[in-house]
Amino acid sequence: MTSVLLTGIAELVTNDPVHDGTPLGLVHDAAVVIQGHRVAWVGPRQQAPDADDARDLGGRAVLPGFVDSHSHLVFAGDRAAEFAARMSGESYAAGGIRTTVAATRAATDEQLIANVARLGAEMRRQGTTTVEVKSGYGLTVRDEARSLVIAGLITEETTFLGAHVVPPEYADDPAGYVELVTGPMLDAAAPHARWIDVFCERGAFDEDQARAILAAGGAQGLKGRLHANQLGPGPGVRLACELGLAAVDHCTFLEAADVTALAESGTVATLLPGVEFSTRSPYPDARGLVDAGVTVALASDCNPGSCYTSSMPLCVALAVREMRMTPGEAIWSATAGGARALGRDDVGVIAPGKRAHLTVLEAPSHVHLAYRPGVPLVAEVIA
Ligand SMILES: [Zn+2]
């Protein structure tokens, strides 16, 4: 296996505290040796070992590839008109999902595959090297299973979200829909999914339904995560903590007991500030969560309704400017935090033995990602 020595790294974010005693694990004038698909050595340039090949990155900053732990990339059509209406003063309602469900059901496999590939490439260009992709716009046995097969073309982190919204044909029989999700739909989805997720929110699925769906998924080997407390206070965050789920996502409307539950559990609070930005809504209290000792992840929630951005750099900039995270906290949450939210220890960190997923910035420091919002600063992705 050929080894490559990378130098010319003005600042390296490792997320390995061994280097400087901080969570970000910064090394200045750093070097990294990559062997095959793994990192073999990390440290100051002067101490770097020899390697077969060498590359000088020209004084740029390097960080772990972004780990985007929450996206909905399998869909057809777009909702630009709905966005324009919302920006004209209408409010976001969960039912808008049904527009995309109709378009997704009508799409061919080829159309869905092309859209996933396009969005996956778009993420990669912006520094994302690991992405979680959910189903949830099919909502039939056939369409959920094919959505997961298609998601699996670009990632191992696939999530069954049959419980996204009750589809129109079950509007008068939500209990019947839960039976479908926990029965034949789960049977068809489980071989193609790693995770199971529920939109636990008023207008979607309540606590009892969420418990039943997560339990059924667990019985088939799927690990749980939740969409919760996005549109208002609710039981979802406390349920996720009680069940010890890897992550609970949105966390926009939290009560004190929710914050306590998160701080005392291992459940990651995944914040999705692109949603609040795109729906002109109040942001979650990231500062309060971090100060309370909660592990916070940042993710895009890329989807055609509430947040059609694939940009983790935008999420970092919003987290700093609008949610009062420091640039270092935001970078950690968009990399190591996302890895925690997916139960992964091989990504989100640059350390010996971990996957060689590196994002190279056209900038000398990670701070520029928040300092220069909207600028395409990702020079290169090594993965
Ligand atoms: Zn989502």
| 277 contacts 301 by C-beta, under 8 angstroms | no
How far is Cα 229 from Cα 249, in angstroms, rounded to an integer?
Answer: 8
Per-residue pLDDT reduced to its tens digit, 338-383:
999 999 999 999 999 999 999 999 999 999 999 999 999 999 999 9
The answer on 52 and 153 residing in a single domain is no
What is the Cα–Cα distance from 148 to 138, expressed in whole angstroms? 10
Q: Domain range for residue 257?
A: 66-341
Residues with Cβ–ion distance below 5 A, ligand 1: 301
| Distance between Cα 127 and ligand 1 center (Å) | 20
Going from the Cα of 100 to the center of ligand 1, the distance in angstroms, rounded, reads: 14
Contact partners, residue 308, CB within 8 Å, separation at least 6: 78, 79, 83, 278, 302
- Write the DSSP assignment of 346-364 as a string of letters: SSSS--TTSB--EEEESSS
Ligand 1 centre from 97 Cα, in Å? 11
Q: What spacing in Å lies between the alpha carbon of 342 and ligand 1's midpoint? A: 14
Q: Which residues contact 276 (CB under 8 A, 6 or more apart)?
A: 252, 282, 283, 284, 318, 322
Question: And the tokens for 272?
Answer: 């999705």
Taking residues 253-261, what's their average pLDDT? 98
**Tally of structural domains, the chain:** 2
Centre of ligand 1 from the C-alpha of residue 71, in Å? 6
User: How many A from CA of 272 to the centre of ligand 1?
Assistant: 8
> What CATH number should be reported for the domain holding residue 30?
2.30.40.10
| Same structural domain, 20 and 126 | no
Asked if 290 and 161 sit in the same domain, the reply is yes
Give the CA distances from residue 153 to residues 46, 73, 92, 138, in Å, rounded to whole numbers and listed in that order: 41, 12, 31, 17
Tell me, what's the pLDDT at 333? 98
How close is the Cα of 264 to the center of ligand 1, in Å? Answer: 24
Local confidence band at 175 (pLDDT 50, 70, 90 cut-offs): very high
Residues 47 and 117 grouped into a single domain: no
Residues 333, 215 share a domain: yes
CA of 231 to the centre of ligand 1 (A): 12
Q: How far apart are CA 281 and CA 288, in angstroms?
A: 18
CA geometry: angle 277, 282, 287, nearest 5 deg = 100
pLDDT of 94 above 70: no
Q: Residue 228 Cα, ligand 1 centroid: separation in angstroms?
A: 10
CATH number at residue 236: 3.20.20.140
Say whether both 327 and 359 belong to one domain: no
CA 155 to chain centre: 12
Please say if the pLDDT value at position 36 is more than 60.
Answer: yes
How far away, in angstroms, is 381 Cα from ligand 1 center?
25
Q: How far is the CA of 70 from the centre of ligand 1 (A)?
A: 6
Per-residue confidence band for 6, with pLDDT thresholds at 50, 70 and 90: very high
Distance 167 CA to ligand 1 centre (A): 17
What's the gap in Å between 178 CA and the centre of ligand 1?
A: 19
Q: Pick from 309, 324, 341: which residue ends a domain? A: 341
Whether residues 100 and 128 share a domain: the answer is yes
| Ligand 1 geometric centre to CA of 92 (Å) | 14
pLDDT in tens, 145-158: 999 999 999 999 99
User: What's the gap in Å between 227 CA and the centre of ligand 1?
Assistant: 6
Both 51 and 79 in a single domain?
A: no
**Residue 152 and residue 142 in one domain:** yes
Domain match, 363 and 318 both = no
Mean pLDDT over residues 262-282, rounded?
96
Is residue 92 pLDDT above 80, yes or no?
Answer: no
Could you tell me if 61 and 95 lie in one domain? no
Question: What confidence tier does 280 reach under pLDDT thresholds 50, 70, 90?
Answer: very high
Cα(72) to ligand 1 centroid in Å equals 6
Chain centroid to CA 95: 22
- The answer to whether 312 and 271 are in contact (CB under 8 A) is no
Q: Is the same domain home to 251 and 309?
A: yes
What is the CA(301)–ligand 1 centre distance, in A? 5
The pLDDT value given to residue 93: 57
- Over residues 95-126, the pLDDT tens digits come to 578 889 999 999 999 999 999 999 999 999 99
